[in-house]
């Protein structure tokens, strides 16, 4: 049980996917103008990551021992098509949920955070439940980073910012400071 908590907190805070592995930066910089959009994107991320954990477990278990060189290609294609199927099912079964998350799903599927999750949990040799907890933690971490970033950016809209700094440069500097704050979590478990 302790192991699961450790994996979860590690992926959520200490080794945050966005702020310490630099994964999924495109949505982090691109879709973080508004708080509610960022939050929904985060939820969609958690959702896709869970599917990814299931797919990568299945592939690692049944396909890749026989053809290790197919790792990258199969991860990408299987994850992308699984997400596509779930999207279709969601559209049919729960149009409300689809309206909230749907538009983000294609955007996320080819995101480095998703492939990164599959690769990292394979490298770490996680089993089924560990992989699932890792996916939840990583997704939560991405959501947390997105929401924090969007919150700060909403505040900066009211400020008087020099034209030169506006845009990506400012966002990167904010992200740097956020990432510095997250480094404080590094000592969390070294008692």
Partner 1 sequence: MKSQESISKNSEEFLKGIWRENPVFVAVLGMCPALAVTNSAINGLAMGLATTFVLFFSSTLVSLFRSFIPKQVRITTFIVIIATFVTVVDMLLAAWVPDIHKELGAFIALIVVNCLILGRQEAFSSKNPVGYSMLDALGMSIGFTIALLSIGVIREILGNGSLFNIDLFGQNFEPWIIMILPPGGFLVLGFLLLCFNRVLNKKSS
Residues at the interface with partner 1 (CB under 8 A): 19-26, 29, 69, 71-73, 76-77, 80, 110-112, 114-116, 119-120, 123, 164-165, 168-173, 175-177, 179-180, 183
| Inter-residue contact 38 to 146 (CB < 8 Å) | yes
> Cα(187)–Cα(171) distance, rounded to whole angstroms?
27
Give the residue with the Cβ less far from partner 1, 55 or 175: 175
CB of 1 to partner 1, least distance (A): 28
CB of 45 to partner 1, least distance (A): 14
Give the residue with the Cβ less far from partner 1, 97 or 180: 180
Give the residue with the Cβ less far from partner 1, 19 or 135: 19
- What is the longest distance spanned by two Cα atoms in the chain? 59
CB of 189 to partner 1, least distance (A): 18
Write phi, then psi, for 126 (nearest 5 degrees): -75, 145
Give the residue with the Cβ less far from partner 1, 36 or 166: 166
Where does residue 188 fall: left (phi above 0), alpha (psi -120 to 50 degrees), or beta otherwise?
alpha
> Cα(191)–Cα(188) distance, rounded to whole angstroms?
8
Residue 13 CB coordination number (10 Å): 19
CB of 175 to partner 1, least distance (A): 4
CB of 187 to partner 1, least distance (A): 14
Give the residue with the Cβ less far from partner 1, 21 or 47: 21
| Inter-residue contact 50 to 139 (CB < 8 Å) | yes
């Amino acid at each position: 049980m302790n192991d699961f908590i450790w994996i979860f907190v590690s992926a959520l805070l200490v080794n945050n996917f966005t702020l310490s592995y630099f994964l999924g930066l495109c949505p982090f910089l691109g879709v973080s103008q508004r708080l509610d959009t960022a939050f929904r994107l985060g939820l969609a991320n958690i959702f896709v990551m869970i599917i990814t954990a299931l797919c990568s477990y299945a592939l690692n278990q049944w396909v890749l021992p026989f053809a290790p060189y197919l790792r990258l290609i199969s991860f990408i294609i299987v994850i992308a098509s699984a997400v596509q199927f779930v999207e279709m099912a969601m559209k049919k079964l729960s149009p409300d949920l689809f309206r909230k998350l749907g538009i983000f799903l294609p955007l996320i599927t080819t995101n480095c955070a998703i492939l990164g999750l599959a690769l990292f949990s394979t490298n770490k040799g996680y089993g089924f439940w560990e992989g699932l907890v890792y996916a939840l933690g990583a997704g939560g971490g991405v959501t947390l980073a997105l929401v924090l970033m969007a919150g700060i950016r909403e505040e900066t809209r009211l400020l008087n910012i020099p034209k030169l700094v506006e845009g990506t440069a400012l966002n990167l500097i904010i992200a740097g400071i956020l990432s510095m704050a997250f480094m404080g979590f590094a000592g969390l478990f070294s008692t």
